Homo-oligomer: A and B are copies of this chain.
Amino acid sequence: MHRTDLIAIGDLARRTGVAVSAIRFYEAKGLVAALRTRGGQRRFLRADIRRVSFILIAQQLGLSLEEIAGELARLPAGRTPNAADWARISGGLQARIAAQIAALERTQELLGQCIGCGCLSLKRCALYNREDKAAQRGAGPRYLMGDRAGEIAEVG
């Protein structure tokens, strides 16, 4: 354990495939922490490669950075996730993905019924009027809507 245990930000970037700017961003968001040299440059632990890897994989699985930060914060003493942590976390992900699949399958079914009907009536369309809106958030601040939509109408 000598000084080569500490790596520069560019090394961490190269080892994980993430941009240097993204690592600084993660630090700002509290997802990783860095030591500093006398000159003010960041030095990371080798273990942070694993930590960043965790971030990337969790992102692939659809977690937001905030959720990932939550998971990482739950680990005692800012520890890097190990096999046991991963087992617990991935259990939760299983359920989440299962729900996504179920919602998509329901969509598929509705779409099948709907092809050719061309009704496009928001009042009647089974595709639009579903309770499991969960399906896809599709991109963008759609979270600002979602409760309005009281009086939806018919084309007539």
Residues in chain A within 8 A of chain B (CB atoms): 14-17, 19, 46, 49-50, 53-54, 56-57, 59-64, 81-87, 90-91, 93-94, 97-98, 100-101, 104-105, 107-108, 111-112, 114-118, 120-122, 125, 127-128, 133, 135-140, 142, 145, 148-155
Contact = CB atoms under 8 A, between A and B. Distances in A.
A150 B120 CA distance: 45
Copies in the complex: 2
A107 B63 CA distance: 14
Nearest to A141: B139
A86 B54 contact: no
23 contacts: A14-B151, A15-B152, A15-B154, A17-B122, A17-B150, A17-B151, A19-B148, A49-B155, A50-B155, A53-B120, A56-B122, A59-B142, A60-B128, A60-B138, A61-B127, A61-B136, A63-B138, A81-B118, A82-B118, A83-B118, A86-B118, A87-B116, A101-B105
